[in-house]
Amino acid sequence: MYETGSRILSGFPKKVSVIDVGPRDGLQSEPGYVSISDKVALVNGLIDAGVRHLEVTSFVSPRAVPQMQDAAEVLDGIDRSKGAVLTALVPNEKGAERAVEAGVDAMVVFMSASESHNLKNVNRTRDQSLAGFEAICRIAEAAKIDVYGAIATSFGCPFEGDVPVADVVEIARAYRDMGITMLSLGDTTGMATPPLVAERVRALGEAVPEADIALHFHNTRGVGLVCVYAGLMEGVTRFEASVGGLGGCPFVPRATGNICTEDLVYMLDECGVETGIDLKKLIAVSQRAEGVIGRSLPGQVMKAGHRLDLHPMDAVRTANG
């Protein structure tokens, strides 16, 4: 039920964590190199706006993802005085060792629920990916660094179609057995729908009750925020988004960007859900990011502003007749 004035929807959590993955997931597929100073300014701007959890880079091979060649330098330049948690994607032992040396707060391992997408994305079978994560977990444990587990194509695969919920549960259980309980269900392909979100969140709640689930949606088919709404109704309190709506997977045909951070924060604000993020500052960060990238980004609130931002009547012409 919608309560006029307080704007609180029954069944929603009172507070959620918004994780901005734009500096990594958003920038990694950009064709033009974004400078270290611009990346650092982007992260610091997000932190200043109140974002307290960010995926800032990845320790992958520079040959595979040239945009992430400066991972250590970017981390070194970030202002850590406000206590933001800085995570980085790591694909293998070498990447984990580099991440430890650079001082990440947490590592993110990733694989696809779909066998074919995993082969396209990381050139490994699912079993090979899981086997490699055990070494990463040992390195992280020795360094007292947390490991989060991402499951891409959790809601569908562009090569196989529907992904059985049992496959997602199987990977979540494997993560748990390695000591990974912070999980992210990735909608890499933009194939998520509200019924699929409810089904998968409930299945993981039953099979892996110790898991803390985050949802990561792309807006490929325009229902990203609707899927967030479905996740909120299931009690999910962690959502990943990308500043300005940056992003897109190079291994998914016709993929588009992640749901937009400021659009997500606007919706949550209007639903009475606390994020701790200053929307006006966040919009300014997105607008600066658009200038750095050099093209219009898909975020809507950065263009339209808040719904109660008023305009003088002479800002538009008066109709004739």
pLDDT, one tens digit per residue, over 254-271 is 556 799 999 999 999 999
- Is the confidence at residue 252, as pLDDT, over 80? no
Q: Which residues pair with 48 in a beta bridge?
A: none
Residue 157 is a catalytic residue: no
Angle in degrees, CA 129, 135, 140, rounded to 5: 115
Residue 251: per-residue pLDDT: 54
Specify the length of the chain in residues: 321
Residue 313: per-residue pLDDT: 87
Single out the catalytic residue among 227, 249, 260, 271: 249
Helix (H, G, I), strand (E, B) or coil at 143: coil
Nearest to 136 by CA among 97, 85, 177, 176: 97
Helix (H, G, I), strand (E, B) or coil at 34: coil
Helix (H, G, I), strand (E, B) or coil at 152: strand
Q: Please provide the CATH number assigned to the domain covering 17-315.
A: 3.20.20.70
- Is the confidence at residue 151, as pLDDT, over 60? yes
Q: What is the pTM of this model?
A: 0.94
Nearest to 265 by CA among 19, 10, 6: 19
Crossing angle of helices 126-142 and 165-177, rounded to 10° = 30
User: Which helix (H) or strand (E) element contains residue 58?
Assistant: strand 53-58
Q: What is the pLDDT of residues 166-214, one digit of tens each?
A: 999 999 999 999 999 999 999 988 999 999 999 999 999 999 999 999 9
Q: What is the pLDDT of residues 32-58, one digit of tens each?
A: 999 999 999 999 999 999 999 999 999
71-80 residues labelled b (16+ CB within 10 A) or e (exposed): bbebbeebee
